[in-house]
Amino acid sequence: MATTSHGKAFQLTIGGSSFEEGLSDLSLSMDVDTAEVTTSSSTAKEFVTGDYSGSWSGSGPFESTNTTGNDELFYATIGAASATWSMLTQTGAVSSTNPSYAQSVITTNYTISCSVSDANRASYAGQGTGAITRAEA
C-alpha cells in the first residue's frame, strides 16, 4: 500500500534556520527543458529533454519577532548569495517514507501583504541553482 501523508506537517530549513512555523504552504517545482525535434517524416511531435531547474515558493503569516520571526530570518536572504533550502514533506527524520529535497537557492521574491480583512501575510520565492538532491535514510 502506498505511503501518504497530510500536508500539515512539512518542514523547511534555509541555511540551517527553520521556517516551517511561519509557513502555511510550501512548493518545490521541478521543470525540465524540452526541445522539439519533429521532422517532416514524423507522424507525431517529438521532443528531447534538456536540463532541469527547481523553483521554490511558500507563504504564511507575517511574523516579525526580533531574531526569531520569519521576517527577520527571511529578510536576511534578500540580495544574499544562495543558501541551501531543504524540504521534508513530514516532520521527523529523513527516512524511506520521508525523503528530503535540497538545493542551493537564490531568493527572488519576498512579499509582505496587509489587509483590513485578514491577518498580515508573507510570501517567499526562490530560484534553485544546480542539482536538487533527494535523500532518504
The CATH number of the domain where 83 resides is what? Answer: 2.30.110.20
How many domains does the chain divide into? 1
Residue-level pLDDT at 73? 83
Domain containing 131 equals 7-135
Residue-level pLDDT at 15? 87
Laid out side by side, the sheet with 100-115 consists of 17-18, 11-14, 83-88, 100-115, 118-135, 47-61, 25-36
| 14 in a structural domain | yes
Among 58, 57, 110, 52, residue whose Cα is nearest residue 80 = 110
| 2 in a structural domain | no
Q: What is the mean pLDDT of each run of 10 residues along the chain (137 residues)?
A: 71 84 90 96 96 95 82 88 91 88 96 94 95 94
Residue-level pLDDT at 19? 80
Residue-level pLDDT at 1? 54
Residue-level pLDDT at 61? 92
67, 84 contact by CB (below 8 A): no
